[in-house]
C-alpha cells in the first residue's frame, strides 16, 4: 500500500528507534511519581531499533517553571535495557521523557575499530566518517565547528596514522556527542510528571494529642496548654504534632463518654462533630482559644523544629452553619430528616456527611477547598485528612492539584483505612502520605509480604506509607495484652520499617490497653468523647525509649528512606531481620526484632556483606544503638539473641572496623 504524503508526520517513517517499558510510569502516565527535594529519579526503559546500528538515548527533564530542557545520556544495561538518572532540586512539578536515535557516528566508530582490528582497508570508511563529522559541523557552535571541520579534513587527507588517530580521539567523540542529528529521533510519546515535596514528606515522626486533655485538675485544656506541652513532644523526638479537629463541637445529639448515644449536660462531645453557633470549619472551639492562639502555637512549634498538623474532617454536626446556609449540600431521607453518617451497624447521629452528588457540587467544592486555604493562611502546612475515601475522587484531584500549585510545601496525610486500590488511588490523586494496614500486621511473614508490596513494586513511586501502631480509633488485639515488650516492638517496627510513622499519645507511651468491651478496638474512656488527664511522669512510661528510637532515626540516613529496605534470612520464625542503607550506601542499619513478647529467642542472621560494602573476609562492627553494646562480627552468618524482658529489639549500625576489633 502506498503511503500518501501527509499520512505520516514528516520523517515519522524514518524514526527507527522503539522506546517502551519505561519505569517509573504510573498508569500509562496518568499520574505523577513522587520525590522530595534532593532525591534522585532513576529512569529505565527498553530502547532498541532494527538492524545493528548503535543508539544514543537521552533522559530529558525540566521543572514546570522552566522552558528549556536538561538532559543526560542514558547507559545501556543488558537486553536493550537503558538507565539514566537526575536529581530534583525544586518544589513543584517536573516533566521528564526520553529521546533516542540511531547514532551514525557511534556506529561508524564502532565498526571502524572492528575493521582495523581485522586489518582491513579502511580508506573508504575514513572518508565516510569525514562526511558524518562535516555534517555535525553545520550544527555546531563556532569554536567546535572549526575543530570538527579540521577533523573532517584530517580524516580525508591525512597520512594513515594521523587519520586513524583522529578517528579514535576521545576529544572528537565528546564534541560529536554535543551535536547529534535529531531529524529522525524518537521521543517517548508521553511527557511524564513528578511531584516534588518537601523533605518531611519522606521522613517524619508524628505525635497525636487531644488539646482538651492538656489541662490540669479536670480543666478543659487550651491551645496555650498545648504550647506548654511542646517541650515534652520535642523531648520525645517528634517533628509533627497532629491535633484532632479544633473547631466548635455541635450540641445536638452530642455523644457522651464511651460513645454513649446521648451525652449528659457535661458531655464534651466528639471533636469530629464539627460546627455550632460559634462557627464551623473556619472557627476555633471557644474553650480551646482563638485564631491568635493557633498562630502562636504554630510559631512556638516551629521554634522547636515541629510542624503542627491540623485535622481536616469534611462533615458537619446538626448545628453547623452549613445546614442553615446550604441545606442542598446534604442528603435528606424520605421522612424529610437529614441523613446522618452510618457504617452499619454503627450510627453517627452527631455527624452529617456532605452529598458530593449535590446539584450544587461546584459551590461545595469551592467552599471545602477554601477551608484548607483558611488554615494555610494561619501558617499550617501539614494536614491529616479524615476518611478521604468517603469523598469524591474527582474532588480530591481538583483540590489537591490547585492547592499544591500555590503551596508546593503542603503535606497531606490520608486517613483511609479501606481497600488497597482505594488507598492507592488517593495517593495517586495527590496525597503525600497514607495510613496503612501496619497496625494489623503482626506475624513475620505477613510483615515481609506487606512491606515487599510497599517498597519493591511500583507502589513505592507514589504511595508513602505512614505506620501507626495505634490511633484513637485503633487499639489492636496485640496492644490489648498490655505487655511492655509488645509496645516496644510495635514502636520499633513502625519507626524503622517506614520512614514516616506516628503514635497516638500519651496513650501509647503510657501503654493504655483496656478496650471498651471484649472484641472491640475502641479504648475504654476514649478521648474522642471525654477529657482525660495523663500522668506523663509515670515511672513505667516509654518516653525515654521512644526518644532514643527517634534520635537514632534522625542520626542515621538509612532510616530516612524506604527504597533500600531488605529482609534477611534468620533461622528462627520468632525473629525478624532487615536492613536499610542510605541512598549513597555509607550508612547501614540492621534491625532485629523478637516478635515473641514473653520468651528469649536466638538465631543466626545472614547478611549479603558485599552488597552492603562490608568486608567478607575481615571483621566488622555491629554497634547496637539502643543499648550501646558493640559486637565484632565476621562472615555472612552471625548470632543474635533477644530477651524481651530486657530489650526485644536490636537497632545496629554496621561499620567497617577502622582500628582493632572491639567487644561488648
Q: What CATH number did the domain enclosing 70 receive?
A: 2.60.40.10
Q: Is the pLDDT of residue 3 over 50?
A: no
- 32 and 59 assigned to the same domain: yes
Q: Is residue 661 part of a domain?
A: no
Q: What is the mean pLDDT of residues 424-444?
A: 98
The residues annotated as belonging to the active site are 386, 415
Q: Is residue 235 part of a domain?
A: yes
Q: How many domains does the chain have?
A: 4
- 168 and 308 assigned to the same domain: no
Give alpha helix (H) positions in 159-290.
Answer: 160-167, 170-178, 223-236
| Banded pLDDT at 614 (limits 50, 70, 90) | very high
- 473 and 343 assigned to the same domain: yes
Domain containing 145 equals 105-178
- 510 and 363 assigned to the same domain: yes
Q: Is residue 233 part of a domain?
A: yes
Q: Is residue 664 part of a domain?
A: no
- 26 and 139 assigned to the same domain: no
Q: In the prediction, which pLDDT does 11 show? A: 52
What is the domain-level CATH number for residue 163? 1.20.58.80
- 225 and 321 assigned to the same domain: yes
- 443 and 521 assigned to the same domain: yes
- 360 and 464 assigned to the same domain: yes
Q: What is the mean pLDDT of residues 63-80?
A: 97
Q: Is residue 169 part of a domain?
A: yes
What is the domain-level CATH number for residue 630? 2.60.40.1180
Of 554, 588, 610, the last residue of a domain is 554
pTM for this entry: 0.94
The three cell numbers of residue 482 are 498490655
Q: In the prediction, which pLDDT does 265 show? A: 86
Q: In the prediction, which pLDDT does 6 show? A: 43
Asked if omega into 313 is within 30° of 0 (cis), the reply is no
Q: What is the mean pLDDT of residues 561-584?
A: 97
Q: How confident is the model over 164-215, as pLDDT tens digits? A: 999 999 999 999 999 999 989 999 999 999 999 999 999 999 999 999 999 9
Please say whether the beta carbons of 247 and 270 come within 8 A.
Answer: no
HEC assignment per residue over 294-362: HHHHHHHHHHCCCEEEEEECCEECCCCHHHHHCHHHCCECCCCCECCEEECCEEECCCEECCCCCCCHH
- Of all residues in the chain, the percent with pLDDT exceeding 90 is 92
Q: Among 220, 272, 213, 215, which Cα is nearest to 246's?
A: 272
Q: Is residue 323 part of a domain?
A: yes
Interaxial angle between packed helices 393-406 and 420-429, expressed in degrees from 0 to 180 and rounded to the nearest 10: 30
> What integer best gives the mean pLDDT of the chain?
95
- 400 and 465 assigned to the same domain: yes
- 360 and 438 assigned to the same domain: yes
Q: Is residue 7 part of a domain?
A: no
* Beta pairing class for 240-243 and 307-312: parallel
Q: Is the pLDDT of residue 346 over 80?
A: no
Q: Is the pLDDT of residue 7 over 70?
A: no
Long-range contacts, 519-527 (Cβ 8 Å, 24+): 520/475, 521/473, 521/474, 521/475, 521/476, 521/477, 522/258, 522/259, 522/473, 522/475, 523/472, 523/475, 524/258, 525/257, 525/258, 526/258, 526/259, 526/472, 527/210, 527/213, 527/472
- 48 and 147 assigned to the same domain: no
Q: How confident is the model over 18-42, as pLDDT tens digits? A: 999 999 999 999 999 999 999 999 9
Query: What residues have CB less than 8 Å from 6, skipping those under 6 apart?
Result: none
Of 165, 196, 227, the last residue of a domain is 196
* Whole-number Å distance between alpha carbons of 68 and 99: 15
What is the domain-level CATH number for residue 391? 3.20.20.80
Q: In the prediction, which pLDDT does 663 show? A: 47
Q: How confident is the model over 421-433, as pLDDT tens digits? A: 999 999 999 999 9
Q: Is residue 560 part of a domain?
A: no
Of 496, 531, 554, the last residue of a domain is 554
Neighbour count for residue 377 (Cβ, 10 Å): 11
Q: Is the pLDDT of residue 124 over 80?
A: yes
Q: In the prediction, which pLDDT does 348 show? A: 84
- 623 and 515 assigned to the same domain: no
Amino acid at each position: 500500500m502506498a503511503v500518501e504524503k501527509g499520512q505520516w508526520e514528516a520523517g515519522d517513517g524514518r524514526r527507527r528507534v522503539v522506546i517502551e517499558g519505561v519505569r517509573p510510569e504510573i498508569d500509562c502516565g496518568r499520574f505523577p511519581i513522587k520525590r522530595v527535594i534532593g532525591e534522585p529519579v532513576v529512569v529505565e526503559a527498553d530502547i532498541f531499533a532494527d538492524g545493528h546500528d548503535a543508539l544514543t538515548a537521552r533522559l530529558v527533564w525540566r521543572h514546570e517553571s522552566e522552558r528549556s530542557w536538561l538532559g543526560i545520556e542514558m547507559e545501556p544495561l543488558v537486553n536493550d535495557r537503558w538507565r539514566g538518572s537526575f536529581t530534583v532540586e525544586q518544589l513543584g512539578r517536573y516533566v521528564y521523557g526520553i529521546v533516542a536515535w540511531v547514532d551514525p557516528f557511534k556506529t561508524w566508530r564502532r565498526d571502524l575499530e572492528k575493521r582495523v582490528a581485522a586489518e582491513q582497508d579502511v580508506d573508504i570508511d575514513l572518508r565516510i566518517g569525514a562526511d558524518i563529522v562535516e555534517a555535525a559541523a553545520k550544527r555546531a557552535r563556532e569554536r567546535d565547528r572549526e575543530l570538527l571541520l579540521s577533523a573532517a579534513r584530517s580524516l580525508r587527507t591525512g597520512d594513515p596514522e594521523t587519520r586513524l588517530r583522529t578517528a579514535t580521539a576521545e576529544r572528537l567523540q565528546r564534541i560529536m556527542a554535543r551535536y547529534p542529528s535529531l531529524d529522525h529521533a524518537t521521543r517517548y510519546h508521553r511527557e511524564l510528571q513528578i511531584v516534588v515535596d518537601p523533605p518531611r514528606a519522606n521522613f517524619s515522626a508524628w505525635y497525636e494529642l487531644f488539646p482538651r486533655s492538656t489541662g490540669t485538675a479536670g480543666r478543659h485544656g487550651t491551645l496555650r496548654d498545648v504550647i506548654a506541652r511542646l517541650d515534652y513532644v520535642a523531648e520525645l523526638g517528634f517533628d509533627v504534632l497532629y491535633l484532632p479537629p479544633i473547631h466548635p463541637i455541635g450540641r445536638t445529639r452530642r455523644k457522651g463518654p464511651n460513645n454513649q448515644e446521648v451525652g449528659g449536660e457535661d458531655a464534651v462531645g466528639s471533636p469530629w462533630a464539627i460546627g455550632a453557633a460559634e462557627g464551623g470549619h473556619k472557627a476555633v472551639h471557644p474553650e480551646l482559644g482563638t485564631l491568635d492562639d493557633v498562630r502562636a502555637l504554630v510559631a512556638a512549634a516551629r521554634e522547636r523544629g515541629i510542624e503542627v498538623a491540623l485535622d481536616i474532617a469534611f462533615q458537619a454536626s446538626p448545628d453547623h452553619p452549613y445546614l442553615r446556609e446550604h441545606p442542598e449540600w446534604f442528603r435528606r431521607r424520605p421522612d424529610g430528616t437529614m441523613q446522618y453518617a452510618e457504617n452499619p451497624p454503627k450510627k453517627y447521629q452527631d455527624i452529617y456527611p456532605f452529598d458530593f452528588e449535590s446539584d450544587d457540587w461546584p459551590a461545595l467544592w469551592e467552599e471545602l477547598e477554601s477551608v484548607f486555604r483558611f488554615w494555610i493562611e494561619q501558617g499550617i502546612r501539614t494536614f491529616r485528612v479524615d476518611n478521604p475515601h468517603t469523598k469524591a475522587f474527582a474532588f480530591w484531584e481538583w483540590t489537591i492539584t490547585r492547592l499544591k500549585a500555590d503551596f508546593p510545601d503542603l503535606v497531606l496525610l490520608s486517613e483511609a483505612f479501606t481497600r488497597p486500590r482505594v488507598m492507592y488511588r488517593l495517593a495517586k490523586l495527590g496525597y503525600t502520605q497514607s495510613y496503612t494496614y501496619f497496625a494489623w500486621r503482626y506475624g513475620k511473614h505477613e510483615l515481609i509480604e506487606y512491606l515487599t508490596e510497599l517498597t519493591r513494586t511500583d507502589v513505592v513511586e507514589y504511595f508513602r506509607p505512614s505506620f501507626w501502631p495505634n490511633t484513637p480509633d485503633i487499639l489492636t488485639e496485640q496492644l490489648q495484652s498490655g505487655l511492655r515488650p509488645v509496645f516496644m516492638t510495635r514502636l520499633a517496627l513502625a519507626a524503622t520499617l517506614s520512614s514516616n510513622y506516628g503514635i497516638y499519645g500519651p496513650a501509647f507511651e503510657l501503654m493504655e490497653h483496656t478496650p471498651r468491651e471484649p472484641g472491640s478496638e475502641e479504648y475504654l474512656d476514649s478521648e474522642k468523647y471525654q477529657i482525660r488527664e495523663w500522668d506523663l511522669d509515670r515511672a513505667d512510661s516509654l518516653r525515654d525509649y521512644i526518644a532514643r528510637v527517634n534520635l537514632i532515626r534522625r542520626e542515621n540516613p538509612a532510616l530516612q528512606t524506604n527504597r533500600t529496605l531488605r529482609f534477611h534470612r534468620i533461622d528462627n520464625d520468632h525473629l525478624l531481620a532487615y536492613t536499610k542503607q542510605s541512598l549513597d550506601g555509607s550508612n547501614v542499619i540492621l534491625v532485629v526484632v523478637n516478635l515473641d513478647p514473653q520468651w528469649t529467642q536466638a538465631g543466626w542472621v545472614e547478611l549479603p556483606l558485599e552488597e552492603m560494602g562490608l568486608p567478607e573476609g575481615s571483621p566488622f562492627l555491629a554497634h547496637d544503638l539502643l543499648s550501646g553494646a558493640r559486637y565484632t562480627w565476621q562472615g555472612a552468618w552471625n548470632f543474635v539473641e533477644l530477651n524481651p524482658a530486657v530489650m526485644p529489639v536490636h537497632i545496629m549500625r554496621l561499620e567497617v572496623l577502622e582500628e582493632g576489633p572491639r567487644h561488648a
